[in-house]
Every structure is written in structure tokens, then in C-alpha cells.
Homo-oligomer: A and B are copies of this chain.
Amino acid sequence: MCQSVFHNRPDVKVTFSLINRSKQVPLARLVDEGELREQLDHIRSLSLTRGESTWLRGNTFYGKRQMFRPDFMEWFEKLHLPPYFLERVDDQYELTFEGSWPEVMLWEIPALAVLMELRGRAVLNDMKKFEMQVLYARATAKLWEKVERLRDVPGLRIADFGTRRRHSFQWQDWCVQAMTEGLGDRFTGTSNCLIAKNRDLEAIGTNAHELPMVYAALAEDDAALARAPYDVLADWHQEHSGNLRIILPDTYGTAGFLDRAPDWLAGWTGIRIDSGAPEAGAEAAIAWWKARGEDPARKLIIFSDGLDVDKMIELHKRFHERVRVSFGWGTLLTNDFRGLTPDNRLAPFSLVCKAISANGRPTVKLSDNPNKAMGPAAEIERYKRVFCVGDQERREVVV
């Protein structure tokens, strides 16, 4: 995604901002500001190691050798992340990043991961040695029970999408090992490149909402705005093929997106369902493929919204004979510490880091769940009008 932005929109100035959707978690009371600054400063001191660079340059991603082009790699090797702006406001942090899009976008993952891990450490600091051992023992047992249940479902394929809101790096690595041992090649990979490299797994991933959000913010008028979600995929289309051609249709409403989509998009490999009722999203995708003369059985649906075991098994059961089904399992793979401490102080929560403006204009996200919408109210109304989004079902956002 960064390479695509680097090639197509390198000069766009963006602001990314941390958004804690779970206001009941008083992040600034839990995480010491000095410690947070220390970690963020450390992140800014990092750059690709020689081994990491070699792996990116030499690896085959989605069957394609040298997916990363030399000009991108040269830029990437020299990159240090741009400055951050941190301020405590009551019990929350305002944490923003400004600069050119390809640089700023890389802050999302480490910023979120560091906050989640510092919050976890703050809780662990109060624990005695054995209490902590037991915590991880219980978490391990819970993780393995999930893996065992998934293992019993033939043909179920899952990737780890849980980097940004993981409990900790070590824990994510541990979860990946569990999935590898339990599911074998039905565990299709991890979106964490370092873990993929260390554990000799596939690095796996797709495109995200920030692409259409920034393209849309840059649109000069309503007509350009209506085109933006397809423009971004046209750029993507040139760059990628196969399993990287996955449509993320929900940024401004899945139904309208599919209705107005150009025919060449129906030729893409699959669709990722990331908000709204997943069954409805998948049915809409199947109906759309049929309407466009495509065979759904050859298409891939990737579910990725707040998944846990029950839901995955249910969705797999419902759809696996009609389409190819896969899952991007995130926070409830790598951070399911719910119920493991008396006061549930380690439960994951909904922390995101989003592009909030591009070249000075606010971004907007609607999604298929109004609880996930973001942007200024007037702009949200304009987007709903342009994209013909009517009433939407509100759904609780767990993580």
C-alpha cells in the first residue's frame, strides 16, 4: 500500500490521528506520557535493517518476485518516520502525525501497537510473578482452545491481521506459532512482516480504507468524489494482480459502491467485508458477481471485522460452498485477554489511527456501520448524499 501511495500520490500532505473509540478506557491515566514519548522517539530512530531490506527485496509476495521496485526500496531504506505531536487532553492522548502521505501512513501500526503494549505493561506492573505467569498460562490455554476449534473445521483458512492492536509483540509471535502448529497450511500467513520473516511464513495483506479516504478528500467536486473510490482501485489495478486485487467496498457504503462499480472491478479476485453485518455483505458481493456475469465460486471473500471463532465457523459454514472464503483475524486472535484479570483491565479496546485530512481537507469514512463513521458532520452528510447512502444499521464496535 505504501508503494502504491509512493508512486501515485507521493506529495499529498496528510494528517493521521489516534482515535480511541472506547472512551471508557482512560489511556492517559493508564500510560505514562514520558514512557510513551520514549517509545515514539525510539520508533523514529528505527529504519530498515539490512536483513529486513534484503528480505523485502528478495522475497516473493503473492507469487510475484520483486514486488517492491528499486526506487521504492531505496526510499524506504532511508526512511525514518516523521515527527509526532502528543498532547494529553483530560484522560486521553491527542496523538497526530503530519507530513507526506507515504511517510505518515507508516505510523499507524507502530503507534497503535505501542499504545496497546504500554497499556498492558501498566497493568502487568501491578502483578506479582506467579499471578503474571498464570495470566499468560490462561491466555495460552484460551488461545489454544480457539485453535483447536478452528482446526476441526476442514478447509477453513485464516491469516493473522492482528498486528496493530496486539497485546504485545511477543504475544503476537506466540499466537502465530499456535496457528502454525495447529492449522498448518490452513494458516495462510501474517500481516506482520517481521514475524513472517522470522518464522518463514507468508506476509499477507490487502488495501485499507485510507486509500479511498484520501483520494476522496482530494476530489475537487462531487463528480470527482463519486469517482474517487474507483480511481484508487484503478491505480491499484495497474500495480497488482491476483490475491492483491481485493476490493474493500464499504468505505462509503457497500451497496452503492457495487451498484456503480465499473465492470473491470468484477474481474478482481475478491472482496473484503470489514463492517456491517458480514452475512449481508457477502450476499451482496455474491449477487453482484452473478449480476456481472462472474462465477462466485471462483471468487474470494475475506472477512475481517471483529472476528472470533464462533463467527468464523458460522460464516465458513454458510459460505464455503458458494465462494472461496478466508478470514483476516485481528484483535481477538492477538489480544483476547478478556476475562483474564479480575477487573478485565487487559481487555482489548477500539483504538484506531486514521487519516483525518489530506492537503488540508478533512477525510470522511462512512462504512456499513454508522458507529464506525468519521469526519465532520457536514462532510458526512455530503458524502452520504454523493454516495446515495440511506439508513444504516448501527452495530456495536468491540474492537
A residues neighboring B (CB under 8 Å): 128-131, 133-134, 136-141, 144, 177-178, 181-182
Contacts and interface: CB of A to CB of B under 8 A. Distances in A.
A329 B177 CA distance: 36
Contact of A133 (B129, B131, B140): B140
A129 to B, nearest CB: 6
Nearest to A145: B134
Contacts of A141: 134, 137-138, 141
13 contacts: A129-B177, A129-B181, A130-B182, A131-B181, A134-B140, A134-B141, A134-B144, A136-B137, A137-B137, A137-B140, A137-B141, A137-B144, A141-B141
Nearest to A130: B181
A342 to B, nearest CB: 10
A351 B144 CA distance: 32
A346 to B, nearest CB: 15
A133, A177, A178 pick with most chain B CB within 10 angstroms? A133
A178 B177 CA distance: 27
A382 B131 CA distance: 54
A61 B241 CA distance: 76
Nearest to A129: B181
A129 B176 CA distance: 13
Contacts of A129: 177, 181
A138 B141 CA distance: 6
Contacts of A181: 128-131
A178 to B, nearest CB: 5
A145 to B, nearest CB: 9
A133 B175 CA distance: 12
Contacts of A138: 137, 141
Contacts of A136: 137
A95 B134 CA distance: 38
Contacts of A182: 130
A181 B135 CA distance: 14
Nearest to A182: B130
Nearest to A144: B134
A137 B131 CA distance: 13
A288 to B, nearest CB: 40
A20 to B, nearest CB: 31
Contacts of A130: 144, 177-178, 181-182
Nearest to A178: B130
Contacts of A178: 130
A131 B144 CA distance: 8
A176 to B, nearest CB: 11
